[in-house]
Structure 1
Amino acid sequence: MKILLTTPLFGDFPIRDPMFPLGITYIAGVIEREGHSVRILDNYLEKNNEDDFVKIIEDFKPSIIGITCNVDNRFEAFALSGIIKEFSEDIMVILGGPFPSVCHKEIIEDIKSVDIVVREEGEYTLLDIINCLENRKPLDDIAGITYRIKDEAKVNQPRPFIQNLDALPFPAFHLLKIKEYPSYMAEFKDSFLDKTNIDAAYTASLIFGRGCPYNCLFCSSKELWRRTFRILSPENAVRQIEYFIEKGITAFAFWDDHLLLDRRWFNDFVQRIKEKKLQFIFKCLGRVDSIDEETAGKLREIGCKMVYLGIENGSQDILDLINKGVTVAQIENSVKLLHENGILATGGSLVNAPGETRENILENLEFFKKLEQTYSRGQGKPKGIMMFKPANIIIFPGTDLEKIAVKKGRLVNFRWTNDYYEKRNLLMDSSPYTPLYENVAIEKLIEYLISAALKIRYYTFLAEITWNQIIYGGICSGSVDKNYKRKFYISKIFYFISRAPFKDKVGYIYTILSHVVFPKVKNKLIRGIKKDAIYALHKA
């Protein structure tokens, strides 16, 4: 049987950098092992439009098309399912991924062009579906799917998680155009503390583990994985790295939420890399409570250039409120240890959480200013920790935050399958297709952030918010003065400059020139124009 596994089509927003669709490479590996013909199509990489896609399925003639999606590209996935059914009612359309796993019932009830939703892990579930189709058997006994019977959603029993990930066949990386993906290191290399071997032309994305044992207020992982965690053996993880090194790729992005969770596993992983004398660079994610002196040293030894930390906030009250389970002291210690080992520490801050006060906002900014001043090199753009960038906390399906939003009337008669577009989200550089939790209105939040930054003379943050929230966000959202008071925000900043001592004027102007004007125009505007041009060509 022929199976096409695909990402949604290239959409209006967000215009994203393509990344390896790792989940479907594992699924493809299982299906190939059973002798089926599989193709992986990454529309984000290939920039396919509707006509391109239809031509591909005309030529390949798949019996099943599986679409992987998440919450921010769900509408693109729904639209693609409609395109497929318009082409041929006989093709079975299956949706999978994090978002469908949580909202499976809504999808089957509301999106008639989707036949089946695969919940959670799809490797053996899709294989069972194929076997049922080939043998003309009903779907009743397939664990882990939701499907339609007489316009009603039928939710089958859950499928147990795969406990031994090493039992899965090697992912079908050969079905990806691995050297057409961009380097994820390029945009950060000027900030790396250690400049050794940073000019890799390609980057490979890898994930070794699944699940999360933690309980953060804003995260869907608890609903998706039920606070479990499993990971490949260190031997298998290293074998995946070797696969790409043999193909000339020596830079990696490890997207595991918890690469450092199991200390014994990580030590074994490091030891195997050293024994094989593998030379590569990488960036990874990490909780701040997983970074100690030994771990930071081992990360440096095997080529780590950057760790994206789950900092989330510099106010202990907010960290406790969102169930992060860490302290501000642990955050600062992790940044310090990484900095001492020549590793760039980066991490964003979630703002506008339920119950956040103006005092919390001020405390948050003071903490990030302290980190920047302590772990920076020279003036201007900090080296050692990336600039503070506020992100409005996002409501994801199945989270405790979603329940709070419903209870407090922030989400009224809301369904994840219904049309949703809120352009005000762009003011916070966030997708307009996913609701934000607004403890206070976004416009008021920006005012509070500016006011706090002015109070503590946080120049780099003022430069960042001048660009992202006022200029770039305002342009993207098509905002006008009467709605978003953009002139008011700008006037507040320039009022501060006009009354500030000479050295403060110089400090702010220098910061906005060095941090905003030169690098942003060079990188963000040109990059954005290039992407818009590519998109326009495909729409033409």
Structure 2
Amino acid sequence: MKLLLINPYFNSLIYSPTLGLSFLATYIKEHSRCEVAVIEPVTETLDAAELLVKIKETDFLGLTCYTESRFQCFDFAKKAKVANPRCQIIVGGPHVMSLSKQVLEHYSFVDIVIRGEAEDALLEIINGKALSEVNGITWRRNAEVIQNSDRIFCRDLSLFHLDYSLIYPEIKNWKDKEIHYAMQQVNHLPIISSRGCPYRCTFCASNNQWGKLWRGLAPEKMVEELTHLVNKYNIGYFRFYDALFIGSDSQAYKFCDLLEQARLKITFRIDIRVGTKPAVLKRLREVGCSVVGFGIESGSDRILKRINKGITRKQIDETIDVCKTLGYWLLGFFMISLPDETPEDFKKTAELFHRFDVFNLQFFKIHPDTSFYEELKAKGELSDEIWFETERGEEIFYSKETFPSSNYYRSEVEKRAKAIYLSQNIRKPFTAIKNHGLLRGCRTVLFSMIQLTLLPSKRATDFLDCLKRGWLGKLFKSRRYWR
């Protein structure tokens, strides 16, 4: 038997490999005789036609589905069923967890949807267990769509791990581009050590989709895994892709003590929660944590309360102060057009941007299985059908063009956000150089100055964008001039 796991995303850029598929592949490889492979089309420079050739010999095709790429996923699934009608097409991922029945009703070429944690459900399907007895799936019996009982989450994450040999040739040159340029000169590796989040932000589905709990690897297993990866792949920097790295203070201290004893020469990045204790941050810094990111979303106490973030502006300022004192490279994540947000609220958010080495500002997007999504459904502003209307595009922005309750037009915000990024590069040129290196950093500052001056003229900015993509931009971007 053959299982092929694919992230059916074919655009030109991805920020990190789809580690979830690699966890599944490892589990199936170690618990069955099934031949398994993981494919990330972008990193392997494969188009849909080339993948369809591989699918002709596949018994099971597993696709991960994100909201922002759902139409690519289902379009590919349809082509795959034509290429290999006998292949069972199984879809999982965050987008389909609460829409499993609708997905099967809309797309006859999808055979099974796995809801939630997929390792054991997928193994049972491959081993031929009757679908009626596989918890955590929604499936089709002739014309009837059947949703089985939920599967209980496994509390012992040591049962799941990732065999990087399945994907390492493809991710060998992967880099975390949001960090200090000097740290980008060593081998990087993305890693996950926990699942879930206990907090209940209204814009996020993680709490609902991961059983309203946080589960993490034991500190002993974490350090054991880091040691193995350092020795095997000569890794110097790890990027933890955990929604919440610190599950408890005691867990964090134990991890730091064991990491110190292991004497690994590494640095690493984690995402923390505002309000993390200074003593914990200090201890993490001592053992190699050099980069921290945290989701702030808004600088307004009123909006923080509205989205049930569970933090305050005072806590935000205090956590930033502690991190800067300890010498962390800081990343902040923000959103605009949050529910009931006014321009005055956003001014308070914008006050925080300059305090970060790198910040990310996104226009708020709607996702299924979130409290705010259910709120909009109750108001009659949308329904589940919105996810199947291709004319709306892949991303559903909470903008006034689509939702009467929003206070922002997307076109206005995009122009404003561009000006904010450009101003940040000009205001903090040395940070841009630290992030990108000398030549590329100078290029970034120079083009920011020109572009900000020409921003009111669309023709001028279009010309500048063309110039950046041409030989001049490539000249400044080339690393050989740095070396």
1:293-322 deviation line (CA, Å, top 9, x unaligned): 212212222222321111111100000000
Per the alignment, do residues 524 and 308 of structure 1 end up closer, same or farther by CA in structure 2, a change over 3 Å counting? Answer: farther
CA distance in 2, matches of 1:233, 1:526: 49
CA distance in 2, matches of 1:255, 1:7: 17
1:204 is paired with a residue of what secondary structure?
Answer: strand
- TM norm structure 1: 0.74
Asked if the contact 2:422/2:452 (under 8 Å) is kept, the reply is: no
Per the alignment, do residues 331 and 10 of structure 1 end up closer, same or farther by CA in structure 2, a change over 3 Å counting? Answer: same
Question: Which residue is 2:442 aligned to?
Answer: none
2:352 is paired with a residue of what secondary structure?
Answer: helix
Matched, 1:157 2:149: yes
The offset of 1:209, in angstroms, is 0.8
Question: Which residue is 2:296 aligned to?
Answer: 311
Asked if the contact 1:101/1:119 (under 8 Å) is kept, the reply is: yes
Matched, 1:252 2:270: no
Please point out which of 139, 149, 152 is paired with 2:131: 139
Asked if the contact 2:336/2:364 (under 8 Å) is kept, the reply is: yes
1:470-515 deviation line (CA, Å, top 9, x unaligned): xxxxxxxxxxxxxxxxxxxxxxxxxxxxxxxxxxxxxxx9994299
Please point out which of 120, 128, 136 is paired with 2:124: 128
Matched, 1:263 2:263: no
Matched, 1:392 2:363: yes
CA distance in 2, matches of 1:340, 1:526: 41
The offset of 1:404, in angstroms, is 2.4
Question: Which residue is 1:499 aligned to?
Answer: none
The offset of 1:248, in angstroms, is 1.5
Per the alignment, do residues 28 and 448 of structure 1 end up closer, same or farther by CA in structure 2, a change over 3 Å counting? Answer: closer
Question: Which residue is 1:327 aligned to?
Answer: 312
- Identical aligned residues as a percent: 26
The offset of 1:446, in angstroms, is 3.0
Question: Which residue is 2:159 aligned to?
Answer: 167
Question: Which residue is 1:433 aligned to?
Answer: 395
Question: Which residue is 1:537 aligned to?
Answer: none
The offset of 1:444, in angstroms, is 7.5
Q: Which stretch shifts more, 277-286 or 299-308? A: 299-308
The offset of 1:161, in angstroms, is 0.3
Asked if the contact 1:18/1:182 (under 8 Å) is kept, the reply is: no
Matched, 1:220 2:209: no
1:415 is paired with a residue of what secondary structure?
Answer: helix
CA distance in 2, matches of 1:526, 1:177: 32
Per the alignment, do residues 420 and 218 of structure 1 end up closer, same or farther by CA in structure 2, a change over 3 Å counting? Answer: farther
Matched, 1:293 2:255: no
Please point out which of 350, 356, 361 is paired with 2:335: 350
The amino acid that maps onto 1:8 is P
Question: Which residue is 2:432 aligned to?
Answer: none
The amino acid that maps onto 2:352 is F
CA distance in 2, matches of 1:524, 1:211: 40
1:391 is paired with a residue of what secondary structure?
Answer: strand
CA distance in 2, matches of 1:183, 1:66: 24
The amino acid that maps onto 1:176 is I
2:97 is paired with a residue of what secondary structure?
Answer: helix
CA distance in 2, matches of 1:256, 1:523: 38
CA distance in 1, matches of 2:328, 2:470: 28
Question: Which residue is 2:4 aligned to?
Answer: 4
CA distance in 2, matches of 1:172, 1:526: 40
Q: Which stretch shifts more, 30-39 or 158-167? A: 30-39
1:49-90 deviation line (CA, Å, top 9, x unaligned): 1221123234xx221111112111111111121121111110
The amino acid that maps onto 2:163 is A
2:316 is paired with a residue of what secondary structure?
Answer: helix
1:99 is paired with a residue of what secondary structure?
Answer: coil
Asked if the contact 1:7/1:44 (under 8 Å) is kept, the reply is: no
CA distance in 2, matches of 1:32, 1:255: 23
- TM norm structure 2: 0.83
CA distance in 1, matches of 2:74, 2:384: 20
The amino acid that maps onto 2:16 is M
1:198-252 deviation line (CA, Å, top 9, x unaligned): 1434321111111111110100112212311111111222222223212122211
1:43 is paired with a residue of what secondary structure?
Answer: coil
Aligned residues: 439
The offset of 1:465, in angstroms, is 11
The offset of 1:409, in angstroms, is 4.3
1:412-465 deviation line (CA, Å, top 9, x unaligned): 57332331445xxxxxxxxx5333354124258539968xx9xxxxx8567369
Alignment of 1:274-289 (within 5 A): 274-289=260-275
Question: Which residue is 1:206 aligned to?
Answer: 191
Question: Which residue is 1:70 aligned to?
Answer: 66
CA distance in 2, matches of 1:74, 1:447: 23
Alignment of 1:344-383 (within 5 A): 344-365=329-350, 367-368=351-352, 372=354, 375=355
The offset of 1:43, in angstroms, is 1.2
1:80 is paired with a residue of what secondary structure?
Answer: helix
Please point out which of 17, 25, 28 is paired with 2:14: 17
CA distance in 1, matches of 2:202, 2:120: 31
Question: Which residue is 1:184 aligned to?
Answer: 175
Per the alignment, do residues 50 and 185 of structure 1 end up closer, same or farther by CA in structure 2, a change over 3 Å counting? Answer: closer
1:105-156 deviation line (CA, Å, top 9, x unaligned): 1111111111000111111101111122xxxx53111100001123232000
Asked if the contact 2:191/2:239 (under 8 Å) is kept, the reply is: yes
The amino acid that maps onto 2:140 is R
Asked if the contact 2:364/2:397 (under 8 Å) is kept, the reply is: no
Question: Which residue is 1:446 aligned to?
Answer: 413
Per the alignment, do residues 510 and 39 of structure 1 end up closer, same or farther by CA in structure 2, a change over 3 Å counting? Answer: closer
Question: Which residue is 1:234 aligned to?
Answer: 219
Per the alignment, do residues 64 and 184 of structure 1 end up closer, same or farther by CA in structure 2, a change over 3 Å counting? Answer: same
Please point out which of 48, 51, 54 is paired with 1:53: 51
CA distance in 2, matches of 1:341, 1:335: 10
CA distance in 2, matches of 1:117, 1:350: 31
Question: Which residue is 1:493 aligned to?
Answer: none
The offset of 1:411, in angstroms, is 2.2
2:271 is paired with a residue of what secondary structure?
Answer: strand
CA distance in 1, matches of 2:5, 2:296: 35
Asked if the contact 2:298/2:346 (under 8 Å) is kept, the reply is: no
The amino acid that maps onto 2:23 is Y
Question: Which residue is 1:502 aligned to?
Answer: none
1:311 is paired with a residue of what secondary structure?
Answer: strand
Unmatched 5+ residue regions in structure 1?
376-383, 423-431, 454-458, 467-508, 531-540
CA distance in 2, matches of 1:94, 1:74: 14
CA distance in 2, matches of 1:394, 1:286: 22
